[in-house]
Structure 1
Amino acid sequence: MEWLALGCCPARDWPDPCEDPVPGDPTAKEFCRPGTEVATPITVYAGAECSAPGFSYEDARTQALAALTLGEQHAIEAGFMRTKLSVDATDLTPAEGPLAIAQGVAVLEGCLAESYGGVGTLHIPAGVAALLGCCNVLREDPATGALTTLAGNCAVIGAGYSFLNLGPGGVPADPGAAWLYITGPVVVRRGPVDVIPDRNRASASVNIRNNDRRVLAERSVVVGTTCTVCAVQVMACP
């Protein structure tokens, strides 16, 4: 999926040439060509399997759909980290090693602010989320329950990010550390859920060789963001 990036070109101030001469051509203003953003579809799925006697097609279908409903956010986060965040991010971790978590958030927000003027999104592994309360890095909107930073950026706390914990280039975090990311706003487009086999072919769910029943529930998801992806490694301890 492709689209033109929106809002990634900078706005600049224009000095008064009479008071603050502009080097070169004082009438030449800079123009920016929008870039093309790309999102790779992610397929998330859950399957149910059990011995067919006593485990009906409807039982298997219910199990698969429940597993997908409860676990798809985890799978989407892991897929987004694997196909987008770890692929496109600029690593801001200093040569000295991982930063304290509040320092890491500050570095990421500075990176985003340099290229995008809107509200961005922090992507935070669930395993370090509690540490953000130590320094009041995040605050909760009492009306919506949404988490934001003091700078106004949104925060997504994800078990899928903890599960992979990958940095730029697919590099795992150091022991006792975690990768944080920041992007522009995120839009998630979910396709319909497909159950395989469907009710019209319920008998096809049974493997006649071992008499096991299998039913799969899956859907395709596209997670889009824009402008900037920055990463930093932080210490997973206070």
Structure 2
Amino acid sequence: MEWLAVGCCAVRDWPDPCEAEPPGEESPGPVPRKEFCRPVTEHAAPITVYAGSECSTLGWKYEEARAHAEATLALGEQAALEAAFWRTKLAADAEDITPAGGPVRVAQGVARLEGCLARSYAGIGTLHLPVDVAALLDRDVLREDPDTGALGTLAGNCAVIGAGYSLMNTGPGSIPAEDGTAWLYITGPLAIRRGPADTIPDKAGASVNYRTNDRKVLVERTYVVGTTCTVCAIQVRTLD
């Protein structure tokens, strides 16, 4: 999936010509020029998540194996998608804004991430939080919308709390976090496209390996998760 980035170009002010100083004897210098921004093309690669069930044909029917695989995918696909997005986008493309002094408190980390995003993107972004870090944020940092139940910050950025993020907990370059620390990320808004779940095979006979008398059923779904402009990362302390 490809698209032109929107909101990544700066909007600048221009002085009122009526208030400009009258020309004097000296040259006013170079004539100011308005700056133009060339939009960049962004892209997102597909992410496929799957669940498979394997059993003996003596124990399970095809319908049971299929139901088990489908239920497994339904329960775990969000965490799998989060982990894949973290690995292929967040940790791969982030700018590390951790200060030279090392990891900061969680609330300070959120503040620095929001500042990083605000300097490069004009809209509402998305804060990506591991489950075991989100509990350390109080209501002054992360709030729930009473109408929608969505989580957000005082600055208005959305928040995603992910079990898949906790599974990864790596920094830029996929370097694992040290004990007592965690990585947080912020991006522009997310655009998620979700395909249908495909069951393979779709008939009982093809699911059986007659040499071993085992049955295998696979269920998978493909997503495309896009974001824009920038990815910022910061390391925080979790044992304060």
The Cα offsets for residues 140-180 of structure 1, whole Å up to 9 and x where unpaired, read as 00111000000000000000011011111111111111110
The Cα offsets for residues 95-151 of structure 1, whole Å up to 9 and x where unpaired, read as 221110000000000000011111100000111110012x62100001110000000
Residues in 1 aligned to 2:45 and 2:106: alpha-carbon distance in whole angstroms: 29
Residues in 1 aligned to 2:31 and 2:229: alpha-carbon distance in whole angstroms: 29
Aligned match of 1:209: 211
Deviation at 1:13, TM superposition (A): 1.2
* Residue from 56, 68, 74 that aligns with 1:69: 74
Conserved? CA contact 1:132–1:138, under 8 Å: yes
Taking only the aligned residue pairs, the percentage that are identical comes to: 68
Residues in 1 aligned to 2:118 and 2:83: alpha-carbon distance in whole angstroms: 25
Deviation at 1:52, TM superposition (A): 1.4
Q: Does 1:81 align with 2:81?
A: no
Q: Does 1:148 align with 2:152?
A: yes
> Which structure has greater helix proportion?
1
Aligned match of 2:197: 193
Aligned match of 1:169: 173
Using the TM superposition, name which of 154-163 and 211-220 deviates more: 211-220
* Residues 1:57 and 1:115: Cα distance change in structure 2 (over 3 Å): same
Using the TM superposition, name which of 17-26 and 179-188 deviates more: 17-26
Structure 2: runs of 5 or more not aligned? none
Residues in 1 aligned to 2:21 and 2:229: alpha-carbon distance in whole angstroms: 34
With normalisation by structure 2, the TM-score equals: 0.93
Aligned match of 1:113: 118
Q: Does 1:158 align with 2:167?
A: no
- Say what the alpha-carbon RMSD is for the aligned residues: 1.7
Aligned match of 2:31: 25
The Cα offsets for residues 52-71 of structure 1, whole Å up to 9 and x where unpaired, read as 11301100111111111111
- Other structure's SS at 1:204 match: helix
Residues in 1 aligned to 2:109 and 2:36: alpha-carbon distance in whole angstroms: 32
Aligned residue type for 2:9: C
The Cα offsets for residues 16-52 of structure 1, whole Å up to 9 and x where unpaired, read as 35159997322x1000000111111111001111221
- Other structure's SS at 1:231 match: strand
With normalisation by structure 1, the TM-score equals: 0.94
Q: Does 1:15 align with 2:15?
A: yes
Aligned residue type for 1:233: Q
Deviation at 1:77, TM superposition (A): 0.5
- Greater Cα radius of gyration, structure 1 or 2: 2
Residues in 2 aligned to 1:216 and 1:100: alpha-carbon distance in whole angstroms: 43
Residues in 2 aligned to 1:100 and 1:150: alpha-carbon distance in whole angstroms: 17
The Cα offsets for residues 172-195 of structure 1, whole Å up to 9 and x where unpaired, read as 111111110000000110111110
Aligned match of 1:223: 225
Aligned match of 1:41: 46
The Cα offsets for residues 185-231 of structure 1, whole Å up to 9 and x where unpaired, read as 001101111100012xx212122222221100001110000011000
- Other structure's SS at 1:148 match: strand
Residues in 2 aligned to 1:34 and 1:100: alpha-carbon distance in whole angstroms: 36
Residues in 2 aligned to 1:232 and 1:102: alpha-carbon distance in whole angstroms: 11
| Total equivalences in the alignment | 234
Conserved? CA contact 1:185–1:225, under 8 Å: yes
